[in-house]
Structure 1
Amino acid sequence: MTDPTAPGLVLLHTSAAHVPVFDALRDRNHPGAVLRHLVVPELLDRARVEGPKAVAPALREVLTGAAAGVAAGAGRGSGAVLVTCSTIGAIAEALAPVLGAPVLRVDRPMAAAAVRTGVRIVVLATVESTLAPTAELLAEEAGGRPVSIRTHLVAGAWECFAAGDAAGSLARVAAAADAVTGADAIVLAQVSMAGAAELARTRIPVLSSPAAGLAEGLRQVAAS
Structure 2
Amino acid sequence: MTALLLLHTSPVHVPVFDALRDRNHPGAVLRHLVAPELLDRARTAGPESVAPALRALLAEAGAGAEAGFGAVLVTCSTIGATAESLAPALGVPVLRVDRPMAAAAVRAGTRIAVLAAVESTLAPTRELLAEEAGERPVSIRTHLVAGAWERFEEGDTAGYLARVAEAAGAVTDADVIVLAQASMAGAADLVTGTVPVLSSPAPGLAAGLAASLATRSAP
Normalised TM-score (structure 1): 0.93
Correspondence list, 1:94-173, <5 A:
94-173=85-164
Shift of 1:202: 1.0
SS state of the match for residue 67, structure 2? coil
Following superposition, the deviation at residue 64 of structure 1 comes to: 2.1
CA contact (8 A) 2:116 2:143 kept: yes
Distance across 1 between alignment mates of 2:205 and 2:62: 17
Corresponding residue for 2:186?
Answer: 195
TM-aligned CA deviation for residue 7 of structure 1:
5.2
The runs of 5 or more residues in structure 1 that have no matched partner are 1-5, 70-74
What is the root-mean-square deviation of aligned Cα atoms in Å?
1.2
* Matching residue within 50, 53, 58 for 2:53: 58
**Hey, which bits of structure 1, 4+ residues long, moved more than 4 A?**
none
Instruction: Specify whether residues 150 and 187 from structure 1 end up closer, same or farther in structure 2 by C-alpha distance, changes over 3 A only.
Output: same
Instruction: Call closer, same or farther: CA 1:66–1:104 in 2, change over 3 Å.
Output: farther
Partners of 1:66 and 1:116 in 2: CA distance: 36
Q: What CA distance in whole angstroms lies between the structure 1 residues aligned with 2:31 and 2:135?
A: 36
Structure-2 residue corresponding to 1:3: none
Distance between the aligned counterparts of 2:208 and 2:124, measured in 1? 20
Q: Which amino acid aligns with 2:40?
A: D
Residue 42 (1) aligns with residue 37 (2): yes
Q: Distance in 2 between matches of 1:164 and 1:58?
A: 26
1:172 aligned counterpart, secondary structure = helix
Which residues in structure 2 correspond to 1:176-215 (within 5 Å)? 176-215=167-206
Give, in whole Å, the separation in 1 of the partners of 2:7 and 2:92: 14
Residues 135-192 of structure 1, C-alpha deviation per residue, up to 9 Å, x if partnerless? 0000000012111000010011111011000000000000000111210000000011
Equivalent pairs counted in the alignment come to 214
Deviation string, structure 1 residues 51-70 (Cα, Å, up to 9, x no partner): 1111111111122234536x
**Equivalent position of 2:67 in the other structure:** 76
Amino acid at match of 2:49: A
State the distance in 1 between where 2:190 and 2:122 align: 22
In 1, distance between residues paired with 2:198 and 2:175?
A: 11
Where does residue 20 of structure 1 map in the other structure? 15
Return the alpha-carbon distance in structure 1 between the equivalents of residues 82 and 41 of structure 2.
14
Which residue, out of 79, 85, 89, partners 2:76? 85
TM-score relative to the length of structure 2:
0.95
User: Could you report, residue by residue, the CA deviation over 1:169-224 in whole angstroms, capped at 9, with x for unpaired residues?
Assistant: 00000000011121000000001100000000111010000000000001111111
Quote the sequence identity (%). Answer: 76
> Unaligned 5+ residue runs, structure 2?
none
Instruction: Return the alpha-carbon distance in structure 1 between the equivalents of residues 2 and 171 of structure 2.
Output: 42
Letter of the 1:38 partner, please give it: L
SS at match of 1:195: helix
